[in-house]
Amino acid sequence: MTITKHAVNSPFVLTPPINEEKPQFALEGSSKGPLEHLGLAVKDLFHMANLPTGAGNPDYLKSHVNARKNNTIETNSTVKALLNAGAVFKGKTITDELAYSLHGQNKHFPVLTNPAAVEHIPGGSSSGSAVAVSSRLADIGLGTDTGGSIRVPASYQGLWGMRTTHGIIECDKMVALAPSFDTVGWMTRDLATFELVSKVCIPAHTQRDITGEPRFGIAHNLFNSALHKELCNAWIEENLRPHVNTRDIFSDKLDLAAMNTAATFRVLQGNEIWQQHGQWIEEEKPDIAEDIMSRLLWCKTITNEQVAFARLQQHNLVTHLEVLFQDIDVLVIPTTPGIAPRCDADSTTLANDRNSLLALTSLAGLAGLPQLHLPLFTLHNAPCGLSFIGKKGNDLALLALARKLESR
């Protein structure tokens, strides 16, 4: 079984019917439900009955199809829930290799165009699911977020997207990257659809409301781009301050560089990545993009001492955020430093962009908190926005706040 060939810029690696002569595409679901008629694009990390999972790499696909040949493949529980709610499966989508990138570029597939900003990269690693939604080939883009793989493409393509509270949605029957940080998430073009999907996927018993008047903390020092900061401040002054309780947070309360968030995340994530994929990499010697392979081989070098120190730093960060959230309910930060890099950006520019991204995305990742991206702005004809980070279990509460603000 091989990956299906698709036209240039198709976000799909596999679409039904899989084989017209010998039908093997059969998924249980419902034609009725709250998601009736909504098209579903599924990142090629989620296992689905009778369909291969390639994790963005042809060698992974070949080796793991052979390994699973005599085993029954079951469908991931979130995919099942969406199908049972009436969603219509449109296909499996391109992911950056092993989901270990934030740029949405995969050398094994045709280059994906960012429909919202054609001269800029689409963002990853849930790149195909995002492109499927932003190009209107699907209504729901199912993906994963470990270090920003939902939030980054959502920001770069002007979509709603969320990293859910870690652990509230089971990451079953899927290819893991770093289980302590892996989450299931989704992207849509509008908030109404996003809410419908969220209520299907997020178990109600995991959620808690924000009691009383919500208190918003504005992380001013994290808005680095002058124009981005200007847009964000204008939106905050018009939409937040007149209506809700806001508090200003500066570098003395939230200094990501001093907290070493990006480096801490890289070590802890990298240690788990090698545990997940190291043996396969050494035995199969797969063909993987140079930048990703370089990071994978670095993962192998991480020492127990580095992991122990990173866990201490993670503990200190979580403690710091717990104190911060005693005075606020929602932390407002930029989702990404700005708009997506240009398609012709060199490797140094992309590496620097990745470091800047991780400094922001690792905040919620290290603490296991929910983060909702709001697609609010356009800079130089390219999308970007800001995020609401809440306490654990505030996923649906963040959506309710966004809905209330949008209705004003």
Decide the pairing of beta strands 160-163 and 371-379: antiparallel
Region 276-295 average pLDDT: 98
DSSP letters spanning 273-299: HHHHHHHHHHHH-----HHHHHHHHHH
Read off the amino acid at residue 348: T
Catalytic residues: 43, 125, 149
Region 322-339 average pLDDT: 96
**Could you give the domains of the chain?**
12-406 (3.90.1300.10)
Answer whether 221's CB lies under 8 Å from 331's CB.
Answer: no
pLDDT in tens, 84-93: 999 999 999 9
Distinct helix (H) and strand (E) counts, the chain: 12, 11
Instruction: Compute the distance between CA of residue 382 and CA of residue 121 in angstroms, rounded to an integer.
Output: 10
Residues forming beta bridges with residue 144, ordered by sequence position: 184
pLDDT in tens, 6-40: 555 799 998 775 444 433 444 656 678 999 999 99
The CA-atom distances, in angstroms, between 257 and each of 45, 106, 354, 359 are: 32, 30, 15, 8
Instruction: Compute the distance between CA of residue 133 and CA of residue 358 in angstroms, rounded to an integer.
Output: 24
Minimum mean pLDDT among 4-13, 51-60, 318-327, 375-384: which range?
A: 4-13
pLDDT in tens, 111-136: 999 999 999 999 999 999 999 999 99
Residues forming beta bridges with residue 386, ordered by sequence position: 334, 374
Answer whether 88's CB lies under 8 Å from 111's CB.
Answer: no
Coil vs helix vs strand at 378? strand
pLDDT class for 68, splitting at 50, 70, 90?
low
- E strand spans, 98-251: 140-145, 160-163, 183-188, 215-219, 245-249
Nearest of 312, 279, 262 to residue 102 by alpha carbon: 262
pLDDT class for 2, splitting at 50, 70, 90?
very low
Give the other-Cβ count within 10 Å of 128's Cβ: 34
Read off the amino acid at residue 34: P
Instruction: Compute the distance between CA of residue 143 and CA of residue 161 in angstroms, rounded to an integer.
Output: 10
Instruction: Compute the distance between CA of residue 365 and CA of residue 388 in angstroms, rounded to an integer.
Output: 14
pTM of the predicted structure, to 2 decimals:
0.94
